[in-house]
Structure 1
Amino acid sequence: MPTYYSVLEVTPTSDEWVEDYVAASHRLVHQHGGQYLARTNTHERLEGNRTNPTLRIIISWPSRQAAIDFMNDLEYIPHLQARIAGSESHHALIEGVDQLA
């Protein structure tokens, strides 16, 4: 079964949600088998002209279902809604396979 990766770009538009979100999401990511590979504001754009987000986050998941279960966790949903309301966010789930090899 391939690993999956959540790749998030987050630029907060308010800070009210951040402290609660970080604590809850950290615990719930681990509860669903996820592992943070990066949570950082230290990054640089090497290509393209899109505005850099404030934060980039990469999470490794043992399966697609683990990532989906995290996103649908009833305890996570209010934190997700707060992040969406208080930031410009993009989240992609990527299957860890090389289909061009």
Structure 2
Amino acid sequence: MSVFLIADIKVTDEAWVPEYATKVHEIVHRHGGKYLSRSGNVATVEGDALDTSLVALLQFPTRKALDEFAADPDYAPYAKARQAGSVSRFHVIDDTDLAGTIPYLPKA
């Protein structure tokens, strides 16, 4: 079952961004993941706007693959730099339909 990582990030110190942006996608790919978007073009359509610099949407083939990426020792220094230079909120969702009424999505 695919899972999606939604990373909502407010950059507070841009020093970490260039190296993170050029290196982390290689680690993501090594764990079967891929970026679907990594954008600073964030617009709020409904509700209160978040103080967000960028949102990244990543897809992994399984939750295990995502967890292995997050625990990868090669990722650790990049995660530490991001955490020191941002306020980050990471959310994981799967590809199911909670209501079970969309025929092309697995029922939750």
TM-score, shorter chain, exceeding 0.5: yes
In the TM superposition, 1:25-64 aligns within 5 A as 25-64=24-63
Following the alignment from structure 2 to structure 1, what is the Cα–Cα distance between the partners of residues 22 and 68?
A: 18
The two structures have a TM-score, normalised by structure 1, of 0.93
How far off its partner does 1:48 sit? 1.4
Runs of 5+ unmatched residues, structure 2: 101-108
1:46 positional shift = 1.2
How many residues matched? 100
State percent identity of aligned pairs: 31
Segments of 5+ residues of structure 1 without an aligned counterpart are none
Who is 2:103 aligned against? Answer: none
Q: Structure 1: which 4+ aligned runs deviate by more than 2 Å?
A: none
Query: Quick one: distance in 2 between partners of 1:64 and 1:51?
Result: 26
Q: Secondary structure at the match of 2:15?
A: coil
The separation in 2 between residues aligned to 1:43 and 1:14, in whole angstroms, is: 19
Partner residue, 2:77: 78
Larger-gyration structure (1/2): 2
Distance (whole Å) between structure 2 residues aligned to residue 6 and residue 99 of structure 1:
18
Q: Give, in angstroms, the shift of residue 19 of structure 1.
A: 1.1
Instruction: Please tell me the root mean square deviation across aligned C-alpha atoms, in Å.
Output: 1.0
3-state SS of the aligned residue for 2:14? Answer: coil
